[in-house]
């Protein structure tokens, strides 16, 4: 499994409510992605940025979902380039589901 941390800056006049509404709008798209295990939306009002922490089956799945078209949509809507960081994720403790998720051996 791969964790991907994505950030992008927000326009100065964008309110929290607008950011959350944008999250709601794209949630069905992400729910339909079979290679995405989990997405946690993030909002950082002090730094005027938003993003997400994704848990993917593979790095290739992350790259496929976050290609050029996605980058352009972020740039058009928020006026900033997204940044991406990746982390190997061998184990996830999920208390909401009451289980531990391990990468395939």
Write the pLDDT tens digit of every residue in 3-50: 999 999 999 999 999 999 999 999 999 999 999 999 999 999 999 999
Residue extents of the structural domains in the chain: 2-102
Enumerate residues 6+ apart whose C-beta is below 8 A from 45.
16
Task: Indicate if the pLDDT at residue 105 is higher than 50.
Answer: no
Q: How far is it, in rounded angstroms, from Cα 58 to Cα 56?
A: 5
Cβ atoms of 44 and 50 within 8 Å: the answer is yes
For domain 2-102, give its CATH number from 3.30.70.60, 3.40.1180.10, 3.40.50.150, 3.30.70.100: 3.30.70.100
The verdict on pTM exceeding 0.85 is: yes
């Amino acid at each position: 499994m791969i964790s991907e941390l994505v950030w992008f800056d927000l326009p100065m006049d964008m309110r929290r409510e607008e950011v959350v509404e944008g999250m709601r709008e794209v949630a069905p798209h992400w729910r339909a992605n079979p290679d995405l295990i989990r997405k946690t939306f993030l909002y950082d009002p002090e730094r005027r940025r938003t993003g997400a922490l994704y848990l993917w089956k593979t790095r290739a799945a992350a790259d496929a979902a976050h290609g050029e078209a996605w980058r352009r949509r972020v740039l058009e809507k928020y006026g900033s380039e997204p940044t991406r960081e990746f982390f190997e994720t061998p184990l996830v403790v999920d208390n909401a589901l009451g289980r531990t998720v391990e990468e395939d051996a």
